[in-house]
Amino acid sequence: MTTIDQRENSHVFSIMKGLGIIFVVAGHTAYSPVHNFVYLFHLAVFYFVAGYFFKDKYIDDKLLFVWKKIKSLWFPLVGYGIVFMLLHNLFFRAHFYNPLTSHLYTRQDYFDCLKYFCSCVTPEQLLGALWFLRSLFIVSFLFMIGVWISKRLSDRYSDIILGGGILFAVVLCSVFDAEIQQIDILIIRRILSNECYLTAILYMGRMFRKYQRYMPVNIWSIGVLLMLLLFLQYKNVTVAIASSIFPPLPVFYFASAVGCLFTYTLAVYIHNLPTLSRIMIYAGNASLAIMALHFLAFKVVSLLQILIYGYGIDYLSAFPVIPDRINIWWVPYVVCGVALPLLYTSVKQILVLQSGRLYGQLILKFKL
């Protein structure tokens, strides 16, 4: 059995996020043979990791918790949103957008985009994956409230109370799902369905941290977990959280738990491979950039297909990818969807570092 030192645990979970974001990119290639497989659990990995690293200190400083989530989730969405908003007309003229579903922005459109950003939403198609940031923000806030209430009721049995409370809320929302779907306000409807259901995955992550030492990590556990996921795929279990498509909730939670444990065991093994481990840790730490930029990176592969097959330039607006007639292009899409955002991240880090050094030299020279 493979074990890991506690100080290296964060590296394993960075690798988990790296695997998770690769699964997300692979899922967004739409026509890949792994699409239905990774959709069983790919987003659950991120909710699971968020629950694992949730700190109880936040229940005593809720404003700090909200501020940290605003900085880590809302600010990046607004930043990417403003850049893509300003580039929208350029992208439209470059055939990145389909004129049937998009148009050149007017001044009013720019103002509308800014209003969307205030509610942690971006209308830019190429940033479509960032819906996840608002979801994670809401789910994390709901979970924090749940932890706070359970701690107030009983510190000793707080985890049991928390689990029972989440179970009660999930059952209640599922029973009244038909009525919930009639609510006109989308954000309320999402909170009472998707986000409520997803708090249970944060709870899984929290419980895993408590009982992690009992998790067997070996080739047999990887094999068993993989076979369970393949069985679910064989049974045509379908999960699409963004579209509010869930199988029966027990099946959804089973798929999420198995998928997260599979990703964890895989991450532990990758952690023992130095070169691959460094790459995956870097990808995990840059997962937000990959999530934001992979649709844009897909355009490079789409352009290559246009050049090879002689497609019209309008094919460049196919979203998220050009339908693949020979079913091999999903691999280049995944490679570019991950590698190009990582390249962007590396260049940005180098420029920031060099700018910091230059600024320091100027300050030192000025003082002298």
Alpha-carbon distance of 311 to 291, in angstroms, equals 28
Average pLDDT by stretches of 10, the chain with 368 residues: 63 97 94 91 97 90 90 93 96 95 94 87 92 94 95 93 96 91 83 92 97 91 96 95 93 98 96 95 97 98 94 94 82 97 95 77 63
What number of CA atoms fall less than 13 Å from residue 108's CA on the CB side? 1
Q: 341 vs 45, 103, 267, 272, 289, CA distance in Å? A: 20, 26, 21, 25, 6
pLDDT reported for residue 268: 95
pLDDT reported for residue 191: 86
pLDDT reported for residue 1: 46
Contacts 24+ apart (CB under 8 A), 181-188: 187/119
Burial of 200 (0-12, 13-18, 19+ CB in 10 A): buried
User: Of 145, 139, 83, which is closest to residue 289 (Cα–Cα)?
Assistant: 83
Rounded to two decimals, the pTM is 0.93
Question: Could you tell me which residues come within 8 angstroms of residue 288 by beta carbon, excluding any fewer than 6 positions away?
Answer: 76
Could you give the residue ranges of the DSSP H alpha helices within the chain? 9-28, 35-39, 44-52, 62-69, 75-86, 88-93, 107-118, 131-153, 158-175, 177-180, 186-190, 196-211, 219-234, 249-271, 274-285, 287-309, 330-367
Do 122 and 77 meet the contact criterion of CB atoms below 8 Å apart? yes
Tokens in use for 177? Answer: 């799902």
pLDDT reported for residue 207: 97
Alpha-carbon distance of 365 to 110, in angstroms, equals 43
Question: Could you tell me which residues come within 8 angstroms of residue 233 by beta carbon, excluding any fewer than 6 positions away?
Answer: 36, 37, 40
pLDDT reported for residue 325: 65
CA dihedral 207, 193, 256, 295 (to 10 degrees): -120
Q: What is the 8-class DSSP label of residue 328? A: -
Helices 196-211 and 44-52, interaxial angle, to 10°? Answer: 50
